[in-house]
Amino acid sequence: INLFGEVISSDIENKTPENSMWDRGQKTSQPVDEFRLSPVTVFPTCNVDTCADYADLLLEQMKDVIGECRKCRLCETRNNVVPGEGNEHARLMFLGADEDMTGRPFVGKAGQLLDKIILAMGMNREDVFIGNIVKCRPPQNRVPSPDEMSICLPYLLRQIDCIRPKVIVLLGATALHGLINPKASITKSRGIWTKIIIDNSYEIWTMPTFHPAALLRDPLKKRDVWEDMKMVMKKLEEGD
């Protein structure tokens, strides 16, 4: 039995996700970190103001810009550019790091599990936006370097600004490092809300959690991810 396919979907149908079989004891309030995206909090070489170069571009136009990018070494080894896909008005956005064979994010086994997670949350893949921290997959499946992530960050920030989601779920350490803190531990950071402020004007809640690939390696982590997703669902139900 796939826990995201059957057990969790029953919770959604009963409209009582708090009563999941994974609940253990009384829930505690989660701490909230708040800071602004800046050269200090992201990377020393990346200034959030550089996304102003794309300020007039729409989400669909960003795909063309990203597809032509040759700003870093990853353009030499990529199979396909992966700009991201989904609802351009999504209230929920997922960011991670995934393969680039098809040019679409999260379409392999990890993506199939992510689809089940989204379905268990009462949504479909078409209701959310799914993207990657870097738009070109590094060779040999290695982790993107800080400079590669910083070069791609303005593209991502413009996409976020176009979509303006209420919540961004950060799937795994790479997404956490690329958008929030390059030194943070995903194990210690998951389940903790962080509020980011883009361009000193727009606030977005972020929720770090384990990457779906980690759940395939260690199914026990599904319990932690579902606890995180219940908090995400609750946040989405709150007023803007």
pLDDT digits (tens, 9 = 90+) for 131-164: 999 999 998 889 999 999 999 998 998 899 889 9
Whole-angstrom Cα distance, residue 46 to residue 24? 42
Residue 30 has pLDDT above 80, yes or no: no
Contact 107, 213 (CB under 8 A): no
Kindly indicate the confidence band of residue 3, based on its pLDDT and cuts at 50, 70 and 90: low
Tell me what the mean pLDDT of segment 113-127 comes to. Answer: 96
Considering the entire predicted model, what is its pTM? Answer: 0.81
pLDDT for 174: 95
Angle at which helices 146-163 and 59-67 cross, to 10°: 160
Token couple for 94: 């997922």
Nearest to 21 by CA among 38, 2, 36, 8: 8
Contact 97, 133 (CB under 8 A): yes
Tens digit of each residue's pLDDT (9 = 90 or more) over 162-212? 899 999 999 999 999 999 889 999 999 999 998 888 766 778 999 999 999
Please give the sequence-ordered ranges of beta strands (E in DSSP) within the chain, or none if there are none.
32-36, 85-86, 92-96, 129-132, 167-171, 193-198, 202-209
pLDDT for 82: 92
Give the H/E segment covering residue 232: helix 221-237
Tens digit of each residue's pLDDT (9 = 90 or more) over 55-95? 667 888 888 899 899 999 999 999 999 999 999 999 999 99
Whole-angstrom Cα distance, residue 133 to residue 156? 7
Whole-angstrom Cα distance, residue 40 to residue 45? 9
